[in-house]
Amino acid sequence: MIEIEKESQNDEDAVENLLDIAFSPSRIHLSSYSLRQGVEKIDSLCFIAKNAVGEVMGVIRQWPVLIGDDYDHISLLTGPIAVHPIVQGEGLGSFLINLSLKKSREEGWKRALLIGDYEYYKSFGFRQQLEQNIIFPPPTDPKRVLLLELQKDSFKGLGGYVRSHY
| pLDDT at residue 166 tops 80 | no
Q: Which domain holds residue 13?
A: 3-164
Count CB-CB contacts under 10 A for residue 103. 17
pLDDT tens readout for residues 49-64: 999 999 999 999 999 9
What is residue 26's predicted lDDT score, i.e. its pLDDT?
Answer: 78
Assign residue 108 a region (left: φ > 0; alpha: ψ between -120 and 50; beta: otherwise): left
Using alpha carbons only, give the angle 25, 27, 28 rounded to the nearest 5 degrees. Answer: 95
> DSSP string spanning 53-107?
TS-EEEEEEEEEEEETT-TT-EEEEEEEEEE-GGGTTSSHHHHHHHHHHHHHHHT
pLDDT tens readout for residues 115-152: 999 999 999 999 998 777 899 988 888 899 999 999 99
What is residue 73's predicted lDDT score, i.e. its pLDDT?
Answer: 80
Rounded Cα gap, residues 148 and 124, in angstroms: 8
* pTM recorded for the entire structure: 0.92
Which CATH number covers residue 37?
3.40.630.30
Residue 143 is classified by DSSP as G
Instruction: Report yes or no: 8 and 46 within 8 Å, Cβ to Cβ.
Output: no
pLDDT tens readout for residues 31-88: 787 888 889 999 999 999 999 999 999 999 999 999 988 777 899 999 999 999 999 9
Instruction: Report yes or no: 81 and 92 within 8 Å, Cβ to Cβ.
Output: no
Phi, psi of 106 (to 5 degrees): -60, -35
Tell me if residue 10 falls in helix, strand or coil.
helix
Domain count, the chain: 1
Q: How far from chain centre, in Å, is Cα 39?
A: 14
